[in-house]
Amino acid sequence: MPTISVAPFGPQHPSLLEPIHLKLRLEEEKVVGADIVIGYNHRGLERALEIDYKRNVFLSERVCGICSFHHSTVYVQAIENIMAIEVPKRVRLIRTIMLELQRMTSHLLTLGHIAETMGYENLFMQTWREREDVMALIDRLAGNRVHYSMNTIGGLRKDLGYDNTKDIEKTLTELGPKLREIRNVFAKDSTFGKRTRGVGILTKDNARRYGAVGPTARASDVPYDVRLSSYAGYGVEGVKFRPIHREEGDCYARTLVRADELLQSVDLIMQCIDLLRDEPILIAAKGNPTGEAFSRVEAPRGELFYYVKAKGEIRLDRVKIRTPTFVNVQCLAEMVPNCQLADVPVITVSIDPCICCTDR
């Protein structure tokens, strides 16, 4: 009967950017089980979001820094549903462009983070160098690198002009080959493959059982993508895409799904730019919202869900946020057993945990 020892992983750990705590049960170097503890970063944002529905557009962006525009879009969509506002096609397309640009920054961040976690500093630097180009592009488009503040109830606060769209096309055309190169490094590099292939497997059954979302689910052969539900510009006629999914379910597959989605994002943005027509970008909202609605978007980490209940006042009755990491982080309990202790950081980072959103 071997002895089982318990080792803590997090909430403060050199390879983690955010506070998540795994209680690992070890049999020598082999992990036999894990308990997951979250909640180190609770800020009471759901309560704060009840105070003023107009100011929430800015507050909801601050739930998470890496998917800020996804948060504000999903909130604004919920309020627009309640107030029965049909936003123009141009607004939906511009939102889609910004959503996809943000997905690119987020995926490049994660890819770099995975490489860095396994000690591949060179690849990490490469990935983040390309990320800087996207961040600078967003700065030029929105006026800020992280919190775009472009959304508002009923439309957008800032339009994309002709120069902006040309800028996007130029930047992405230059970036495309570089991204393809990075993708091929992740796909073919032997060092990377040895650390990730067959490590941290999430089977298709388990992915369904835990309700995994986003790239984590798609890497386990569950082609579930909220973008298929046609919110924002994904429902506009002429925008075509097919969710990327793989069958292996290991860290390698999760990384490759993200790398492929980078190229898909470039493609989607180009499609949206071609469809932009002159239209108003803001429909004025009258009165206060009454009623309830939920809204979903496909954030970089998976399905992001907001439920909003309004009572005809500035105050809201309830805002409920379900973030993608909240479900994905539970899948770790199935991925970690039977792997080596040294692989735990890689597996944890491969689901791209955003504890900041999850604890909100």
Partner 1 sequence: MSMWMNTLKNLFSKPATRLYPAVPAAIAEDTRGRIVYEMGRCIFCGLCERRCPTNAITMDKANKRQIVSRARCIACGVCVENCPTDAIDMRREYAPPSTAPELHVYSTTLTEHQFTVLSLPPFERGKGPPRPPSPPSEGAPVAIPGKGGEEGRITLDSPASAIMSTRVLTLYEDDTVRKALQIMVNQKIGGLPVVDVNFKVLGIVTGTDVAKAAGKEKDGILAFLFPKDGKKSDTAQEQRLRKTMDMPVHEIMTSPAITVPPDTPLREIAAVMGKNAFDRVPIVNSDGRLVGIVTRRDILRAIAASIEACPP
Taking the CB of residue 74, how many other CB atoms lie within 10 A of it? 29
Residue 144 as a binder of partner 1 (CB under 8 A): the answer is: yes
Residue 41 as a binder of partner 1 (CB under 8 A): the answer is: no
d(CA 228, CA 239): 11
Among 101, 104, 108, 185, contact with partner 1 (rule: CB under 8 A): 185
d(CA 30, CA 92): 49
d(CA 119, CA 342): 11
Residue 206 as a binder of partner 1 (CB under 8 A): the answer is: no
Q: At what angle do helices 162-188 and 121-142 cross, to 10 degrees?
A: 170
In sequence order, what DSSP letters do the residues of 68-85 get, joined into one string? Answer: HHHHHHHHHHHHHHHTT-
Provide the minimum distance between the beta carbon of 164 and partner 1 in the complex, in angstroms, as a whole number.
9
14: CB partners within 8 A, 6+ apart = none
Site map (CB under 8 A) of partner 1, residues 295-334, x = contact: -----------------xx---------------------
Q: Which is nearer to partner 1, 54 or 209 (CB)?
A: 54
Among 143, 223, 238, 280, contact with partner 1 (rule: CB under 8 A): 143
Residue 178 as a binder of partner 1 (CB under 8 A): the answer is: no
Amino acid letter for position 315: R
Among 82, 85, 123, 355, contact with partner 1 (rule: CB under 8 A): 123
Task: Give me 275's structure tokens.
Answer: 């469809």
Q: Which is nearer to partner 1, 123 or 273 (CB)?
A: 123
* Site residues (vs partner 1, CB under 8 A): 52, 54-55, 57-59, 122-123, 126, 129, 132, 136, 139-144, 147, 149, 157-158, 181, 184-185, 189, 286-288, 312-313
